[in-house]
Amino acid sequence: MQRFFVNAILFFAAITSEAIATPQTLYINRGSFVTIKKTTFPSLAVNTTEVYDAHNAVIAATPGEVLNLTIINNDSVLHGFSVTGFTSQSVTIKPGKSAQIHLTIDKEGIYLYYDSIQYPSFVYLGAAGMIVSSKSTHRSFYWNIKEQQASLNESISRGGKFSKGNYDPDFFTINGLSYPDIQADTTAKIWGSVGDTVSIYMVNTGQSMHSIHFHGFHLKCLFSTSPNIRAGWEKDSWPIKSMQGVVLELVIDKIGRYSVHDHNLVAVSAAKTHPNGMFMIMEMK
């Protein structure tokens, strides 16, 4: 009887958690990114359908699971697919073709998948996201943080190479969205009630470091791939290097609305207007 209730609870926990699943098929899509200022620039993304969406797919696994992914190149140039920690299994995919990748995710943690062709140009254009592995039943949020310089995208999308030489990014996004639009992303918008513990999975798929500051709370790092951040640390600011990820745990001990943002103030802007960048208001009830 007790086992039935445990199963029932797990079942309902599964269907009421965020709409993050294990997609079997991923598409590398080319599209037009729409900024918070309603301007556009060419972009890439990895999605679960053949329709471009700046929000790269989140792939969720449980430890011990084997992910059998089919990646379809829905673009007109060669692309690749690699996963950090599994780079020996990288694949290249011709236009209109597909490739398979099999990943045995044996530990809890966070991994980045990315387009390994013309690295880092296609990653710069947007083709990178996260694979998360967890046994936790805590409510989870997923942040893919990234910056871009609108004036570079046209030439890079035509085959130019990304260079950090004169890099001066002007758009800063979480899952392809900026404040206030990011408030409506239920996979990213952090909320909860006093007594809740929530998990935040964060990858930096940009080319710059992003230091994320949580107001009102100290979080604990559960997992990190970033060499400057260690699991077990408890603090309020998390400087995540390019192409690294962290898993943070937040214990909600008070009500209120608290901001969380990139501490580098330019990253809270979009083409010089504030606060249209990496900024969110968390709601604790």
Quick one: tokens of 29?
Answer: 């899509």
Q: Are 112 and 46 in contact (CB under 8 A)?
A: no
Residue 172 beta carbon to Cu ion: minimum distance, rounded to whole angstroms: 14
Stretch that binds Cu ion, among 7-15, 41-49, 74-82, 209-217 (CB under 5 A): 209-217
Which C-beta is closer to Cu ion: that of 213 or that of 220? 213
Q: Which DSSP state fits 56?
A: P
Q: Is 258 in the site for Cu ion (CB under 5 A)?
A: no
Q: Which two tokens stand for residue 68?
A: 């059998």
Nearer to Cu ion, 37 or 213 (CB): 213
**Residue listed under structure tokens 């996201």:** 129
- Residue 168 Cβ, how far from Cu ion at the closest point, in Å? 23
How big is the chain by its Cα radius of gyration, in Å? 19
Question: What are the E-state strand segments in the chain?
Answer: 25-34, 40-47, 58-61, 65-73, 79-83, 91-93, 98-105, 109-114, 128-133, 139-148, 171-174, 191-192, 197-204, 210-214, 219-224, 234-235, 237-240, 244-251, 256-262, 279-284
Q: Which residue is nearest to Cu ion (CB)?
A: 213
Using CB under 5 A, pick the residue from 37, 138, 189, 213 that binds Cu ion: 213
CB of 274 to Cu ion, least distance (A): 13
Task: Choose the stretch contacting Cu ion; rule: CB under 5 A; options: 52-60, 77-85, 113-121, 210-218.
Answer: 210-218
Where does this chain touch Cu ion (CB under 5 A) — which range of 16-24, 29-37, 208-216, 276-284?
Answer: 208-216
- Least Å from the CB of residue 215 to Cu ion: 6
Query: Residue 216 CB, nearest distance to Cu ion (Å)?
Result: 10
The residue whose two tokens read 């004169």 is 166
Minimum CB separation of residue 71 from Cu ion in Å reads 38
Amino acid identity at 63: P
- Write each residue from 45 to 64 as x if it is in contact with Cu ion (CB under 5 A), else as -, in one continuous string: --------------------
Write down the residue that tokens 């947007």 correspond to.
126
Interface ranges with Cu ion (CB under 5 A): 213
